[in-house]
Amino acid sequence: MSGQTQRLNVVPTVTMLGVVKARLVGATRGHALLKKKSDALTVQFRQILKKIVSTKESMGEIMKNSSFALTEAKYVAGENIKHSIRENVHSASLKVRSHTENIAGVKLPKFDYFIDGETKNDLTGLARGGQQIQACRAAYVKSIELLVELATLQTSFLTLDDAIKTTNRRVNALESVVKPRLENTISYIKGELDELEREDFFRLKKIQGYKKRELERQRLSAQAYAEEKVAVDLSLKKGLSLGTAHNMLSQATQKDEDIIF
């Protein structure tokens, strides 16, 4: 993985510049929103954590109480009570229900317990200790209540932990990969466009230079022709053409046969 952020490979046109700019705006907005979501989730997370710690402590207490109640019941009703309880198990009367709650955009599971069917009261008619057994049962039902609540907290805790990690990963990705890449692309496109503009400008200037020189040359040649014409006109007015005067002069240097001297 290169340490340097690349830029996207695009054709450097004005349209692409608009497109990439729009994407950068989208990425920035998304980054801000995800950061807010991550903060909200972290707040929830810490709250749940505090509740979990306190609930676990009280659970320790309640389990102790339930154990005491059971020991009392055993003492009063005799050791065989364990077996009769075991034999008496058929279908569970205490069950849990789970549904999901939407907290800050994350689906968290929630458990409630409910009593399904009648609790078997056969044991309470035992010769000894029916009351102790009732008390023991009540203590254990209370501890189940607490344990179900704890289970809810724990699953929400784990789910939130996961969600926070994912969101933070996305925030970091946007911040350190996507946005720099888009910014590099934008500066690249701008650079290319500027260079094209400079090329165009240069070409324009060059062509203008050619045109000017062309014009200049034509003007000079026209001027020369015009001067010649004026000279010819003048000599014609004086009765000779410039051309014949020239011939006469040149012939004068040659020997004329008609002249005897």
- Enumerate binding residues for another protein (CB under 8 A): 46, 49, 52-53, 56-57, 59-60, 63-64, 66-67, 69-71, 81-82, 85-86, 88-100, 107-109, 111, 114-116, 119-120, 123, 133, 136-137, 139-141, 144, 147-148, 150-152, 154-155, 157-159, 161-162
Give the nearer residue to another protein in terms of CB position, either 134 or 184: 134
Q: Least distance to another protein from the beta carbon of 50, Å? A: 10
User: How many whole angstroms separate alpha carbon 39 and alpha carbon 164?
Assistant: 9
Q: Least distance to another protein from the beta carbon of 198, Å? A: 44
User: How many whole angstroms separate alpha carbon 169 and alpha carbon 182?
Assistant: 19
Residue 4: Cβ-neighbour burial (10 angstroms; 0-12, 13-18, 19+) = exposed
Q: Are 77 and 132 in contact (CB under 8 A)?
A: yes
Q: Least distance to another protein from the beta carbon of 2, Å? A: 27
Give the nearer residue to another protein in terms of CB position, either 92 or 224: 92
Beta strands in the chain (DSSP E): 94-103, 106-115
Give the nearer residue to another protein in terms of CB position, either 8 or 52: 52
Name which of 160, 143, 147, 63 is nearest 112 in CA terms.
Answer: 147
User: If you ran DSSP here, which 8-state letter would residue 176 be given?
Assistant: I
Q: Least distance to another protein from the beta carbon of 105, Å? A: 11
Give the nearer residue to another protein in terms of CB position, either 147 or 193: 147
Q: Least distance to another protein from the beta carbon of 96, Å? A: 5
Give the nearer residue to another protein in terms of CB position, either 167 or 185: 167
User: If you ran DSSP here, which 8-state letter would residue 124 be given?
Assistant: G
User: How many whole angstroms separate alpha carbon 56 and alpha carbon 147?
Assistant: 9
Give the nearer residue to another protein in terms of CB position, either 157 or 188: 157
Q: Least distance to another protein from the beta carbon of 90, Å? A: 6
Can you state the percent helix, strand and coil of the chain, rounding each to 5?
75, 10, 20
Helix H, strand E, coil C: the string for 77-92 is HCCCHHHHHHHCCCCC
User: How many whole angstroms separate alpha carbon 80 and alpha carbon 82?
Assistant: 5
Q: Least distance to another protein from the beta carbon of 201, Å? A: 48
Give the nearer residue to another protein in terms of CB position, either 56 or 198: 56
